[in-house]
Structure 1
Amino acid sequence: MKSGATLGLKESKKPREEKTDPRSVFSSGCGSEVVTSDHDFTLSEVVIRTKFNANNIEYSLRAFPLGGFVAFPDNDPDSDIPADDENLLKNRPIFDRVIVISAGVIANVVFAYLIIFVQVLSVGLPVQEFSPGVLVPEVGPSSAAARAGLRPGDVILSVDGYELPKSLFSVPQIVDIIKRSPKKNVSLKVERGGEDLVIGVTPEESGDGTGRIGVQLSPNVKITKAKPKNLVEAISFSGKEFWGLTSNVLEGLKQTFLNFSQSASKVSGPVAIIAVGAEVARSSSEGLYQFAAALNLNLAVINLLPLPALDGGSLALILVEAARGGRKLPQEVEQRIMSSGIMVVLLLGIFLLVRDTLNLDFVRELLIMDFPLDTCRSMTTSSKMLYGGGM
């Protein structure tokens, strides 16, 4: 069972008369044991000896605060605990096992809420105040929009007479209109410096037959801060923001799976997540709260997927056991399912690690440093026009 905590826990074996069992687990958050000829030790024991026993459970804080885990003696071949001991996890009632296996997911959800709660108390909650129209932060050079006279900072109020509302969805609405109008004149009502202008632009036809005018678009929104006046209001603010963020995460994952052929390339591993986190920190330290909360919610949902090697896979096996009237699947079958799942997750992790590393800016610069300068500039300009709400 995995969680976002950095505290590693391992259920100890029964106490011995002479000393506590010295066996421990090596982990950078979670991992395998490191075994020497006569003694098993952890990097934590070498770098920081932070562990203690309480109620027959060994708690340890590891040298690398990445992830966390809970290890049980059930599958430990060297365990001296009888296989039929009622306190072993595998021998506990189904409901008990469901609660234990779900604890990592629950921890992620609770931690996400606590992050938002700390944000509300410390820096306040960002509140979006929408204004009519869509903002144009960037206009591509030599684009259809630039030739028509559109400038960065303009606010598009209407398209062919259709008034754009105060909404986050104004951007996809105008993008859809432009895409459906290749080589057709489109009338844009634009606000510039307090004055309203009418600009006619003819979208160019893209390779896929859709129209594009070469601009970046963003919602016309002003971000303000709302700070709670008391603890009750802070809890209320945090709850609303938590449910809103949860809805966005679930909707995003839903769209990812429904349109997996188009969104598969956007699936990110640890390297890309760290890169995004660093970018968020550079742009706004306050954005790290939302990033960390969203990351924990994503981990919670993904960990619930009924895939081997994930908590959802273990829960699925328990549900199968319940459906079979309490009869477990043969141990060999369970081991094969889990082994295959671990292999798939491992291969996927390696793939994402390599791909995301190759996509890092400084790595890409090293790879393309031998390209002609004009080619690099052309690639950079083209890629910028494809990001975000550009069209």
Structure 2
Amino acid sequence: MGTILDVLNSILAFLVAIGILVTIHELGHYAAARLCGVKIIRFSIGFGPTIWMRKFGASQTEWTVAALPLGGFVKMADTRDDSVNELDRHLAFNNKPIWQRMFIIIAGPLANFILAAALYWFIFVVGSPGAVPFVASPPAGSPAASAGFKTLDKVLSVDGAPAKTWGEVRLLLLERASVRAVATVEVETASGEIVRRQLATANIEKADLDQDFAAKLGIEAYQPPIPPIVESVTKGGAAEAAGLKPGDRIIAVEGKPISDFRQLLTIVSANAGKPIGLVVQARGETFDATVTPALVTEGGRSFGRIGVTRPPIDSTSSAMLVTVVRYGAIESIPKSIAKVWEMSAFSLKMLGRMVTGDVSWKNLSGPITIADYAGQSAKLGWLPFVSFLALVSVSIGVLNLLPIPVLDGGQLLYHIAELIKGSPLSDQAMEIGQRVGFALLIGLSAFAFYNDVYRLVSG
């Protein structure tokens, strides 16, 4: 039941997100066209068969919702088809000055960028919680250890760019790791000293960028120790069958001493169906126990579980590790614009590195993955969902500006060619461009869908 509800939640969150983002995009085109005096024939959210339609305004514009909610369009009057009579020729899109036509085309992506800036402004003003970037003790021999990182180093910036949360640190490091560059990381040590550490990323391969690349660098979030004490035991679980009770302390697993509850979880997760030897300390006595983790599958991932819970993390430690990033209303305006610029530049860089082969095409996501992210963000709360909307709005703006003929960027390319040539491109040239662009878009969509299915099957 939980899985079905999760799927329904993801579908609903995806439809809400796409509905908002597509509507804003098309309203950008619509508003610009109306401003330039172009007659609008139809405003459609979605493609395919119409499921709802109403006519409004003096021009009797058709406002429709179609069956396939993966896009939308604004149909404008154009003398190249039968949508314009002689009296309305001055209202046709193709009869407008070229600068007006280019403004109408770019207004869609621009609307997405404006929406993203507004959403980021809202997030900055309200304040968003995040993990303070304290560093855990790096594994021996890792790049982080070689760079001199120590436990409770607090990351302040990466290559001069400020970072207040682990999410910001990971994003900045991802950009450096994608080109195997050395990152200059400024930290505040546990003693309060400000130092710069040179973090090499040369050990990162393309495949690592699809996974937890930061772990391979040896730079991970600090987590306060959790004593390996059983807080509660699930009735009928493997732990109960082994005789474990609340308050028992696990002091060794398979003959190896442990000092943290996470060590127990790691071993249990990796050994479903296999007997595990424990040394347990309880009520002043020490005894041996054998527990066999049950195989559990959740979220497409299979692992072992014995049916115990950990003790709560100390509230003082928890408070130290969480921060709320908040700015004033005026201060948030330039910050939100800068955020949209940074995310747009990052998206373009990653797309460019996919083309050059520096980043794997496996990072390309389709509707299934986006729906999954939409569902996950919605489950976390309204603020993470707003952040998700802002990110996807930037992505839609960037995607639509790519010079692919069926996209807004391709239409801009036609108009730039018209400026250079002094006259519109021939119908034949535009038709060839449309076919090439459509084939390219279908190919990219198919590849993204393949990636979605692969992630779904492989977990």
State the TM bucket, normalised to the shorter chain.
0.5 to 0.7
Rounded to whole Å, the distance in 2 between the matches of 1:24 and 1:245 is 30
Retained in 2: the 8 A contact 1:4–1:68? Answer: no
Rounded to whole Å, the distance in 2 between the matches of 1:336 and 1:104 is 24
Retained in 2: the 8 A contact 1:4–1:107? Answer: no
Rounded to whole Å, the distance in 2 between the matches of 1:105 and 1:287 is 23
Q: CA deviation at 1:86?
A: 2.4
How has the CA–CA distance of structure 1 residues 341 and 239 changed in structure 2, closer, same or farther, with 3 Å as cutoff? same
Map Cα deviations across residues 240-277 of structure 1 (whole Å, 9 max, x no partner).
13413431341243133135323311011122111122
Task: Please give the residue correspondences for 1:161-180 in structure 2 after superposition, counting only pairs within 5 Å.
Answer: 161=148, 166-167=155-156, 169=158
Retained in 2: the 8 A contact 1:3–1:104? Answer: no
In structure 2, the gaps of 5 or more residues are: 1-18, 31-40, 159-168, 181-188, 191-202, 209-213, 223-319
Q: Which one of 253, 257, 260 corresponds to residue 348 of structure 2?
A: 253
Q: CA deviation at 1:61?
A: 4.8
Q: CA deviation at 1:234?
A: 1.6
How has the CA–CA distance of structure 1 residues 167 and 83 changed in structure 2, closer, same or farther, with 3 Å as cutoff? farther
What secondary structure, in the 3-state scheme, does the structure 1 residue paired with 2:136 have? strand
Q: CA deviation at 1:352?
A: 1.9
Rounded to whole Å, the distance in 2 between the matches of 1:215 and 1:162 is 11
Q: Which one of 239, 243, 261 corresponds to residue 334 of structure 2?
A: 239
Q: Which one of 384, 393, 396 corresponds to residue 299 of structure 1?
A: 396
TM-score by length of 1: 0.59
What secondary structure, in the 3-state scheme, does the structure 1 residue paired with 2:91 have? coil
Match of 2:315 in 1: none
Q: CA deviation at 1:91?
A: 1.1
Rounded to whole Å, the distance in 1 between the matches of 2:418 and 2:147 is 61
Match of 1:288 in 2: 385
Rounded to whole Å, the distance in 1 between the matches of 2:394 and 2:221 is 25
How has the CA–CA distance of structure 1 residues 127 and 320 changed in structure 2, closer, same or farther, with 3 Å as cutoff? same
Structure 1 letter corresponding to 2:324: K
Task: Please give the residue correspondences for 1:2-21 in structure 2 after superposition, counting only pairs within 5 Å.
Answer: 4-6=21-23
Match of 1:100 in 2: 104
Retained in 2: the 8 A contact 1:127–1:226? Answer: yes
Q: Does 1:345 align with 2:362?
A: no
CA-atom RMSD in angstroms: 4.4
Q: CA deviation at 1:127?
A: 6.9
What secondary structure, in the 3-state scheme, does the structure 1 residue paired with 2:56 have? strand
Match of 2:52 in 1: 44
Retained in 2: the 8 A contact 1:168–1:219? Answer: no
Rounded to whole Å, the distance in 2 between the matches of 1:331 and 1:116 is 42
How has the CA–CA distance of structure 1 residues 311 and 322 changed in structure 2, closer, same or farther, with 3 Å as cutoff? same
What secondary structure, in the 3-state scheme, does the structure 2 residue paired with 1:85 have? helix
Map Cα deviations across residues 61-118 of structure 1 (whole Å, 9 max, x no partner).
5266654321123277443524991221011100110111111111101111222233
How has the CA–CA distance of structure 1 residues 73 and 66 changed in structure 2, closer, same or farther, with 3 Å as cutoff? same
Q: CA deviation at 1:333?
A: 1.2
Q: Does 1:264 align with 2:266?
A: no
Task: Please give the residue correspondences for 1:1-391 in structure 2 after superposition, counting only pairs within 5 Å.
Answer: 4-6=21-23, 29-32=45-48, 34=49, 42-45=50-53, 51-56=54-59, 58-62=61-65, 66-74=70-78, 77-82=81-86, 85-121=89-125, 123-126=126-129, 130-131=133-134, 134-135=135-136, 145=139, 159=146, 161=148, 166-167=155-156, 169=158, 217-218=219-220, 222-227=321-326, 233-260=328-355, 261=357, 262-283=359-380, 285-325=382-422, 327-360=423-456, 363-364=457-458
Retained in 1: the 8 A contact 2:117–2:339? Answer: no
Retained in 2: the 8 A contact 1:249–1:294? Answer: no
Retained in 2: the 8 A contact 1:358–1:364? Answer: yes
Q: Number of residue pairs matched?
A: 286
Rounded to whole Å, the distance in 1 between the matches of 2:133 and 2:75 is 49
